Structure 1
Amino acid sequence: MNQILNLNATKIDLSNRNLDKIPREIFELKNLRKLILRNNNIKVIPQEIEKLKKLQTLDLSGNSISNFYAKICSLKNLKILNLNHNRIKTIPIQIKNLNKLTSLHISHNKISKISQEIYSLQNLRELNISHNKINKIENNLINLKNLRKFWISGLPLSYFPEFYFIPKSLICLYAFSPTITSFDVDTTYQQLCAIKGNAINYFNDFNYDFIFQNHNKPDIVTMKKIVKKNKVFISYSHKDSIWLDKVRNHLSVLKNHLEIDIEVWDDNKLEVGDVWKEEIRQSLEEAGIAIFLISTDFLSSNFINKEEIPPILENAKNKGTVILPIILKVCYFEKSKLGSYQSLNNPSQPFSKMSENEIDEHLVELTKKIHKIMEK
């Protein structure tokens, strides 16, 4: 504690001291610019924190704080705020006052919603919201024009912005979450979760062609579609054609009863005289959704592995094609090229082991998923 006695101290590091509160002496350090209190048992941030007018870095990660005290937001010079690994549930609207903030880390808390005010932090360069209860990232993300690093692992996201709402400044995106298994999770986010390390290349290869639609809202844009979101390509082995019919029947509900303009393509569409390889190539290129009916016959097919899977995987990476595997029979799916994608059903419970009613339940879920993708 001797360093605290120096009233001119600019940096204090009291990490791993088993502290249950912030020592009062700290609030008398008028020149303090960096305060680090990692891995203690601190539960409350006292209102005296506002006395540290010159504070630029505040690290309270690894404590037991449940309340993001609004007085923190009176620290006008704060640039780095780390509250990772606490018990915080909400972010105060006053966070908008931290207009010098460049780095905000709030991962491993209990936050269920991103405060809209966070999207107004124009100087923010790093944002870590991983491992919270957040289920939606707003399109307002594009307003963070200087955001360079974004951590979003382990979130139950039911909505993730389209790629044209991703800030162009973003150079690092970390989403890897091997435990994300819910079929209700946003499809784009689900595919990001399968990528180890920096996943920004998932978006970087998109061909931006923005048209500003409203001069009062220049950030709201549209793009020329690279793939058709309403076009579904079904890849299957001819030995599994009985399952193809079941999938098509369920998807027909979208067109016949919900009047959704869905185009389902499989090689039964080919007619006599078609240049069949070119027809398949074009359909693969246009498909916004790809359903793979997985069995050992599928995985062992040379044509499927050479002509169908590679372009779909490429389009998933570069154009946002959604991949939806369905496990028909016991097979070595986990180690296949498609094994990193979340399947409709557990690989240990293929359709061949299910009752007809159970199969229908899964295919209804598939239909709902595709309906949701097309609505988005």
Structure 2
Amino acid sequence: MNIRFSQAAPAALLALAIAGCGSATAGQDPPGSAAPESAMAGHGSIAGVAEVAEPQLHLVAVDGAGKSSMLDLLDGTETLLEPVAPPARISSDGRYVFAAGNTGVEVIDSGVWTWDHVDHFHYYRSEPTTVGMVSGAGVATVATGLLSTAGTTGMFFPSSGAAVLVDNSALSDGTISESLRLDVQPHAGIMAPLGDGAVVTEADANGTAARLRAVDAGGREVATAPCAAAAGTIATRVGLVIGCADGAVIATGEGASPALEHVPYPEGAAAPATTFNARKGRPTVAGLGQDRGVWLLDTRQRQWDWLPTSTPVLAAAAVDDADGHVVVVATDGTVQVYAAESKELLSSTQALMPATVASPELAGKVTLTVDGGRAYVNAPAEGVVFEIAYADGARIARTLTLPTGPLHFAETGR
């Protein structure tokens, strides 16, 4: 294994003098809950960027040719963005959109973000821009953290085995700066940020991700854990989740002594989860496998729960609010809302996207994102994004059209 690293650009975070910080948002963890240590260092402010009173929620859409656009969910303003190379998939940390293609990951800065300060939030707005590309071979898996202006973003390129950490504070300055690059055996792997370092997968003799290695900022191995068929990762307020064939590993801590804790599935479990989704930062996440149902992982209690659904599932997300809503996009094109504790189906839309679900290729592009009040789901064939009030009987609040088709989409400003 080869290790190459360079000193990351210094944090460009300037402490903002604020007479009184905003109050906690409903459903947010109370003061004292686990959160990134860097969250206490400042408020996420950047010189020349305006702080605003409410989250600047936007949708970013990228079509099959790489044409990109934004829609302001507050006032309906449409913005065309610079095009990117046609991506195979995109992901977001709530500010940046990472468009992964065969030759690298292009980074779009939506210019809107939320700083999570544990007991309250700060909201910022600037001009959108395209930052640049992180080159690599194969469609990368991207793993983001909880804060967009601090820490790092992980990228793993399967064809070359390049595992990269990109410095988020440098992205805020419009610069791509790699703080760490590891060269490992090529495989479908993960490089996920953990503190100043990361957790990276290691392949077995068959080229399948089978082991997790926690490394520090210089690439030195500091902890390991088995994780057969590792797939899927998400950052929560409690810790980093990585899915395994027999459960998940929750990684916590940083520096020289991170903890990699295995949380096994219950006896006789259904198919394992290979993707995870939740409202940003919340401790309970939804894991999607292959059966009619959704795994729910409570990262605080280190406990799995199985939520059966009436139909097979295309996408699912745990809202983890006071009512325990879980939002599901079913293979019949309906959006369903369940109660996590009772497993009851609370409400459902009618079938929304018949042309999309009729196409296996387009059905695989259906994406679901949830925030504190709404769920958003794209219908690529129909060319729209549905905004759904999941706590109000799965009411379709709006049907949204962007300047570019939403083959891929993300919600930013969160």
**TM-score, shorter chain, exceeding 0.5:** no
Report the TM-score range of the alignment, normalised by the length of the smaller protein.
under 0.3
When Rg is computed on C-alpha atoms for both structures, the one with the higher figure is: 1
Q: Which has the higher contact order (CA 8 A, sep 6+)?
A: 2
Question: TM-score, length-normalised on structure 2?
Answer: 0.22
